[in-house]
Structure 1
């Protein structure tokens, strides 16, 4: 445990240096690391302890650069959203939201290849009313995952903020969200002693990072700052996508298999306790098959099932979907090891 804390401390300092240079993203970098150390449900608690401390220390260092106009548009609408997100964390698997966040981050890839002249020509500032939507979405995502970071960094860049202004304004916007989340996580029991120690480790590391990064920012141009920011979004998205995908596959027992027999190509996708079979034959085209329970049969087929049930040892049911055709039902009836198939 001590070794993990030391590694997390060093990694957090580096992550929040990168975060300040990129305008955000430390939380998204730390999520895959924390996923290895503690359960996913308490990862937001650890992250929020660290990000709250980071926001407070950055406000202290960069307070003169805060854009208060954006603050007053952003915060009032983010607070109810973070309450909703933190409440839903007990009912929603955060891994799936992390996957969505990963895809949004990767979508910033084209921004890396824009030239300086092209970026200046295409620069259009967003209207103020979009801050309402951005604030609400940021609060909601933050409430569930414990992080907002780079996901909304693009919007700060589009509002024309300079690098120090992005660091300061984001910290001011988010500190209230982090405080509210901490209160909610504790009240609904989404924390643990290990998560607390890891969170305090992150908190101390963020203070060290915030007070040393001010010596780095003056050496970066605005153009380089933006490119590093977009690059960090894409890299964080890829890391988050790979790490979270593996957890989803393990938790939900997702598997994929494919076979080829004669003129038919059959693919089988399993998710949790559900199998989805995709078949392609040159004469019949694409078919999608799903195993069903007898209760899912139409009323007139339930009677047939009851009749067949007395005649066979076991019956497996599948519903078959074909393009431009009505669904059909397949009865796989077994008796003494012999299969009899009915299509209705």
Structure 2
């Protein structure tokens, strides 16, 4: 047990709670946190497996809110492109892609926060495009929930519907990319010691997040989601700069 990093586990619990409140899953926080303690490929493997428990919890707790139409429009292209992204992780420089993702999240969330009248048309084309981008990002960077969150925010879904649909899509993505990461050799035996802890964290964090979400008014939900996405982008960018500074 002396090999367990308990600070990492506490931060993972926090990531799960906030990810549940935001509605786009814990990976957007878990991946930057994990990169502080593990190599990038190990984080990809841990994230995929961790999400099984957290998404199963969300599906159970929010099961009555599923939007089947969005599940198909966003979920199917996400599954297809998570495979492509996962296979490309062995070929593409991850630091460059993380930087692009961070800048994209910061820029897009600021646009929606500062220009509240700006609306993405909630149509099938935009839903499919969001699914492609979020799936590809999830496979390549380990996190695509924030992009999916921005896409789903355009549809102004009730918060329980938002979370349930996002969790179902995430579950399909994680089921697919786990096999790809296993094939790539990213699921390491020495990291498996964390799996029982992460499984419990997924259940407990989701439950806590749902309880907190009960007290958040619907009209504030979209703004909170966008602020969390902005924070994710800033955290990712700071982490990248810190890594470059320490290696220079």
TM normalised by structure 1 equals 0.66
The counterpart of 2:170, out of the listed 169, 174, 178, is 174
Partner of 1:91: 91
Moved over 4 A (4+): 1-4, 121-124, 248-251
Contact 1:8 1:202 in 2 (8 A): no
Partner of 1:7: 7
Q: Secondary structure at the match of 1:147?
A: coil
Residue 245 in structure 1 maps to residue 241 in structure 2: yes
- Alpha-carbon distance between aligned partners in 2 of 1:5 and 1:249, rounded to the nearest angstrom: 24
Q: Secondary structure at the match of 1:37?
A: coil
Per the TM alignment, residue 5 of structure 1 is displaced from its structure 2 partner at its CA by 3.3
- Alpha-carbon distance between aligned partners in 1 of 2:33 and 2:43, rounded to the nearest angstrom: 10
Contact 1:49 1:200 in 2 (8 A): no
- Alpha-carbon distance between aligned partners in 2 of 1:125 and 1:162, rounded to the nearest angstrom: 17
Q: Secondary structure at the match of 2:35?
A: helix
TM normalised by structure 2 equals 0.90
- Alpha-carbon distance between aligned partners in 1 of 2:31 and 2:100, rounded to the nearest angstrom: 14
- Alpha-carbon distance between aligned partners in 2 of 1:12 and 1:218, rounded to the nearest angstrom: 22
The counterpart of 2:221, out of the listed 218, 225, 247, is 225
CA distance 1:4–1:68, shift in 2 (3 Å): same
- Alpha-carbon distance between aligned partners in 2 of 1:76 and 1:222, rounded to the nearest angstrom: 28
Partner of 2:131: 135
Per the TM alignment, residue 188 of structure 1 is displaced from its structure 2 partner at its CA by 2.0
Residue 195 in structure 1 maps to residue 187 in structure 2: no
Contact 1:102 1:241 in 2 (8 A): yes
Contact 1:9 1:201 in 2 (8 A): yes
Partner of 1:101: 101
Bigger Rg, structure 1 or 2: 1
Gaps of 5+ in 1: 254-344
- Deviation by residue 1:288-331 (Cα, 9 ceiling, x = unmatched): xxxxxxxxxxxxxxxxxxxxxxxxxxxxxxxxxxxxxxxxxxxx
- Deviation by residue 1:144-170 (Cα, 9 ceiling, x = unmatched): 111112232111110121111111100
Residue 112 in structure 1 maps to residue 113 in structure 2: yes
Number of residues of Structure 1 aligned to a counterpart in Structure 2: 247
Contact 1:25 1:236 in 2 (8 A): no
The correspondence of residues 195-344 of structure 1 with structure 2, limited to 5 A, is 195-248=191-244, 253=248
The correspondence of residues 25-104 of structure 1 with structure 2, limited to 5 A, is 26-104=26-104
- How big is the alpha-carbon RMSD for the aligned residues of Structure 1 and Structure 2? 2.1
Per the TM alignment, residue 197 of structure 1 is displaced from its structure 2 partner at its CA by 2.9
User: Which is helix-richer, 1 or 2?
Assistant: 2
- Deviation by residue 1:249-289 (Cα, 9 ceiling, x = unmatched): 556x5xxxxxxxxxxxxxxxxxxxxxxxxxxxxxxxxxxxx
- Alpha-carbon distance between aligned partners in 1 of 2:38 and 2:143, rounded to the nearest angstrom: 16
Gaps of 5+ in 2: none
